[in-house]
Amino acid sequence: MKALRGTSTVLFLITAAIALSIDPLEGLPAAAAALPSGIGYLLCRNPAKDSKLERAGNGWPGREPTKAGGALAGQPHASGTEVGKTVALDIMDQFKTTGINKTRSSRQEDELVARRRNGDASGLRIMVTGANAGIGFWTSLQLARRGAEVIMACRDSRKAETAATAIRARVPGARLRLTTLDVASLGSVAAAVAELERLEHLDVLIANAGMVHAPSARQRSVDGLELVAATNFFGHFALVAGLLPVLERAPAARLVTLGSLSTLLVRPHLDDPQLEGNYSSWQAYAQSKIMLQSFAFELDRRLQRTTFTTRALSTHPGYSLSGRTPRIAGVNEPGTFKRVVDTLQAPFTQGKDHGAWPIVRAAVDPDAFSAPGPVFYGPRGVVKGGPRKATPASITTDPEVAATIWKAAESATGISFLG
């Protein structure tokens, strides 16, 4: 009997995993739709809760829909074909705007603020690095759903086109712009800056691109830098330096860097920023995230000492796994085994569609800088859940540590700014 129960449990999990692996646009099979609601609980995809969040147009568990019109008041959402599969909501239920035009009349401003509070991001131009997969893709999709113009900066143009096609299939009329960017190459960063510096303005730059699975042995980038640090931090340092003038053309621009829970678990080798003598794949990843997160907080401190209006903050996606993320052809296609393994971790993980929530909120929340000090967003439950302000690793908020990291970035890239 016990063996039978064990077998039933395994079959139950496999069935659930296969059901989740079907692209919503290809249709949700009747068999999957008829699965017991317990599967929704097991996978943290409770149908009633997800339906409520879908109506609310945000990813804030426990919040009621706003009373205004539109999707937030319970009207059909633009992603209605994905009911039961993809919540992928962009958590803007009380948002105003990051870039209100100061020349607008008071009435126009009030109207715009009201729309922002209902999740309308139209009028915002937001750049996302590494936008063709993972957190970057879901961030781009959620921002496009709310009307933002999204600049998808990707290393592989073919994958970028595939991702853009997937977004347009879910958001007809999405305003997308593709640009080639390999953050591991300072030459590619310079080329992207040369292309984008002609923009009228840029409201938000989301530094998302990065290596999660670092190589087991130390490798060098095309510029001779340690590859993980070059990808996750040094390239973004150069990108921000180059695009800061473009950000300054927006009334209230911001930089959002993608931090990580790993910053809480590793002590960095500040005397060895490129890990020439202390390399391990885990150390390389965590240290690069410490540097990127610290950079955001230090950049914000330095910006506030100038006349610049741009601000900087950081965020993290919790413990987000591809096996718990809706399948999208060419973007996220984990196999059945991956689905099953990741589903077994459901109590403390979430999909990358949910992992994008804190990033989106960090990009648009008008109350982000309402209190002094470093601003950091993450899931409500630390590893999963709706977005909220969180407490960053103390080492990433230390000004002395940040100064050391900043000097290392200037040395690695040959670029100095806000010194």
CA atoms within 13 A on the CB side of 168: 12
Q: What is the pLDDT of residue 158?
A: 96
Q: Which pTM value belongs to this model? A: 0.78
The amino acid at 193: V
> 13 lies in a domain?
no
Q: CA 189 → CA 108, 193, 235, 277, 388, distances in Å?
A: 37, 6, 7, 27, 31
Q: What is the pLDDT of residue 377?
A: 95
> 158 lies in a domain?
yes
Kindly list the catalytic residues: 285
Number of domains in the chain: 1
Q: What is the pLDDT of residue 115?
A: 61
CA atoms within 13 A on the CB side of 329: 9
Q: What is the pLDDT of residue 116?
A: 61
Residue with tokens 């000004």: 399
Q: CATH number for the domain including 372?
A: 3.40.50.720
Those residues with Cβ within 8 angstroms of residue 175's Cβ, 6 or more apart along the chain or in another chain: 144, 147, 148, 149, 150
Q: What is the pLDDT of residue 137?
A: 96
Residue with tokens 């993809």: 86
Q: What is the pLDDT of residues 286-295, one digit of tens each?
A: 999 999 999 9
Q: What is the pLDDT of residue 77?
A: 33
Rg of the chain taking only CA atoms, in angstroms: 21
Q: What is the pLDDT of residue 112?
A: 64
> 364 lies in a domain?
yes
Those residues with Cβ within 8 angstroms of residue 304's Cβ, 6 or more apart along the chain or in another chain: 311
Residue range(s) defining the domain that contains residue 239:
86-413
Question: Which tokens hold the place of 174?
Answer: 């999405």
Mean residue pLDDT of the chain comes to 78
Q: What is the pLDDT of residues 225-274, one digit of tens each?
A: 999 999 999 999 999 999 999 999 998 899 999 999 999 999 999 999 99
> 348 lies in a domain?
yes
> 36 lies in a domain?
no
Q: What is the pLDDT of residues 85-134, one digit of tens each?
A: 232 333 333 233 334 344 556 777 777 666 665 566 788 999 999 999 99
Give the β-pairing of 387-389 and 376-379.
antiparallel
> 237 lies in a domain?
yes
